[in-house]
A and B are shown apart, each in its own frame.
Chain A
Amino acid sequence: MTKIIFEKTSEGRKGSAVPEKDINIAEISIDIDEEMKADKIPDLPELSELDVIRHYTELANKNICVNSHFYPLGSCTMKYNPCVNEEIASMRSFTDIHPYQVESSVSGNLEIMYLLKKYLCELTGMDDFTLQPAAGAHGEFTAMLMTKKWFELKKENRTKILIPDSAHGTNPASANMAGFEVVQIASNENGTVNLDDLEAKIDDKTACFMMTNPNTLGLFERDILKISEKIHSKGGLLYYDGANLNAILGLVRPGDAGFDFVHLNMHKTFSTPHGGGGPGAGPVGAKGKLAECLPLPKIIQKEDKTFSLMYDNPSSIGRVKAFYGNFLVLVKALAYILSMGKDEIANVAKLSVLNANYLLKKLEDIYEIPYGKSCMHEFVASADRQKNIGVTAIDICKRMLDYGFHAPTVYFPLIVHEALMIEPTETESIQTLDLYSEILHKIQEETEKNPDLLHEAPHNMPVKRLDDVTAARKPDLAYKK
């Protein structure tokens, strides 16, 4: 293991230079309440700049990432993160702008926000967007607050949110946080929403049906128009979780399919990097009057064509974050939309779906694919067969790491045993997919002939398989001397 940065300290060593003091303190008086004066200096390490660069470069060496590895992490859309977007977002005129500068000094930023909102509306069929939510889950929560507000304004008491059993855990968690009761809707034998169960559970207390389409099994909900009609006939709202928008970007607009509001993940569909956990951005769009409930401030274009932030709207839920959103992430998303443009945007959907189907065909001889012979942008394989001979999905994942591939999403969705959720994305080539297939076949051979190789995997990573149980039983969450 690399030593912890705190273990590398050398008393008195100087790090990077910080700005010098230039005030003559004899000229001033500083009067701080004695009781509030710090009585100790924060215990930070003392290192040279090179010490620090070496340390974090050594840590970087222990990561695998999209730039180095195929990363088919299902539902996370780990597509290539274009370099030009990073260069643009790191321009000083974007990074060194304070959120409370006078509007006349941030016209460029306001225009970026306006354009992004306009294009997101166009791509989804929504009428307005907020760029404030910082991540997908934050967008979902925003949408749940809007749902609450919507029915408050209509003076209807609706308490239930319907959610398919295949949904991401964030959906029920977001609904619960906003004070709703979660009602789970079963999947049918094809892996899509069971309409009978929906029919049985929908009532005049139903506020909203949250859907991911294609769903987490990588299947398009082909009954979407029927579902939409059913929900709307009962006065409920239909919500689109944009986690899987990549499958339909530029081809199908959620708004045209009857969805009333959506959230999108800039760090999935719109190519912004995930940063090892964030920051992302989760804009939320809405149609018609529901758009009035979107958070404030709202970016608008005034009659004189200039842009402004609007702070006043009694139908709004208010704010869900300080300032305006993860602006530097939004810049990258706009750059991505423009570099795709109207000519190429639909290739995202077409080629991501092609790649997933191609890989599915290549792998169907080794894994059970419980739901269907074809898929959208991702598919869920099951390692149930392998488990019968003592090798689990996680064993297979760990072995993939040895061969230079990141693992798929594992054990999700919960409705598939030993799930391996594979999403190749459109930015991968046939050669990479072929190589991946070849390796998985090799791993299958090992599964049959030498399962211990998998039980013990990974073998080539910086560490061997880690003990999650001890980590959780005796949590060690900060370094202590």
Chain B
Amino acid sequence: MKFSQEHEWVTVKGDIATVGITEYAADQLGDIVYVELPEIDTEYGKMDRVGSIESVKTVSDLFTPIGGTVIEVNPAISDTTPDGDVNDDQHFEYINQDAYDKGWLFKIRMSDPKDLDDLMNKEEYDAMIKA
């Protein structure tokens, strides 16, 4: 798992990166009540703003640490079901409770795996948030 300056985590399988926000970021935001996710099949550049994350009293931008095409968003968080209906069973609490697994946000097909090189490992990230 790798980490960005903007407090995202990234795991990679083949050319697909899965992105979420870190436990630290989720704690800082407090109880997350909504996430505006990127659009599927849309291409984003590295560090583009792709959405936002809301708690009751704040909102912060969501960036993608990796450039590429978004292929999937977390169905437990998405506004719509895979059939395009309104999703009435959203679980934003996953991000607070299980940031690194059930709380993942989106999957992106990487356009340039070199983007990964700029990310931090766990020790570097931990050091950053300590500072």
Contacts and interface: CB of A to CB of B under 8 A. Distances in A.
B57 A473 contact: no
A473 B57 CA distance: 13
A469 B92 CA distance: 10
Interface of B is mostly: loop
B111 interface: no
Interface string B49-76: 0000010110000000000000000000
A469 B56 CA distance: 6
A411 interface: yes
Contacts of B31: 469
A475 to B, nearest CB: 9
Interface residues of A, number: 5
A472 B56 contact: yes
A469 B31 CA distance: 7
A411 B57 contact: yes
Nearest to B89: A474
Contacts of A303: none
Interface in A449-481: 468-469, 472-473
Interface residues on B, range: under 10
A387 to B, nearest CB: 14
B33 A472 contact: yes
B92 to A, nearest CB: 5
Contacts of B34: 472-473
Contact of B93 (A411, A468, A473): A473
Contacts of B93: 473
B39 to A, nearest CB: 22
A468 B31 CA distance: 10
A371 B56 CA distance: 28
Contacts of A472: 33-34, 54, 56
Interface string B32-55: 011000000000000000000010
Interface of B: 31, 33-34, 54, 56-57, 90, 92-93
Interface of A: 411, 468-469, 472-473
Given A468-B56, A473-B33, 12 more contacts: A411-B57, A469-B31, A469-B33, A469-B56, A472-B33, A472-B34, A472-B54, A472-B56, A473-B34, A473-B90, A473-B92, A473-B93
